[in-house]
Amino acid sequence: MLRYDSSIIIDRPVEIVFEYMQDIDREREWQPNLREAEQLPKGEPGVGTRRRYVSEFMGKRFENVYVNTIYEPNRRVTYKSARESDTQAEGEITWEPVDSGTRVTMRVSVEVGGLLRFVPKSLITSLGTKELEDALARAKARLESSD
């Protein structure tokens, strides 16, 4: 499995950052490669909540369903790909209060398969890390520019 992660400090309280990042209807605002996002069932997420995403990576379309395996509001969410997903992955997002706001850390582990198995692993890791960095920078910009 390939692993990559990124972290950023957002100058907003944990509750605001968590609420924004867990709002399925707002995820496309801060995840630039995300094309569609849907939560099943609708409503308050928790353990077992499924989220269906359509995204692009390296010019290829991927459709994945992730299932929350841990859901601790304002602290941590972990998820794992459902069997029907194009990519098998596991991830974790943590929110930690710090003096200047919230430290958000995203970690992803992905099993490379299909045509991606022919791409150098270092390139996939580099692009995956950049995607996380870009997403976190966009979330920071959105949250810090809002009133």
Query: For residue 122, what pLDDT band results from cuts at 50, 70 and 90?
Result: confident
For residues 91 and 78, is the Cβ–Cβ distance under 8 A? yes
Q: How confident is the model at residue 32 (pLDDT cuts 50, 70, 90)?
A: confident
Q: What mean pLDDT is predicted for residues 15-24?
A: 96
Q: Quick check: 116 pLDDT over 80?
A: no
- What span, in angstroms and rounded, lies between the C-alpha atoms of 131 and 68? 21
Average pLDDT over residues 28-52: 93
97 upstream amide cis, omega within 30 of 0: no
Per DSSP, what are the bridge partners of residue 91? 79, 108
pLDDT of residue 89: 93
**What are the structural domains of the chain?**
2-145 (3.30.530.20)
**Upper half-sphere CA count for residue 117 (Cβ side, 13 Å):** 7
User: Alpha-carbon distance 91 to 67, whole Å?
Assistant: 10
Pairwise pLDDT comparison (134 vs 117), residue with the higher score: 134
Inform me whether the pLDDT recorded for 74 exceeds 80. Answer: yes
**What's residue 115's pLDDT?**
63
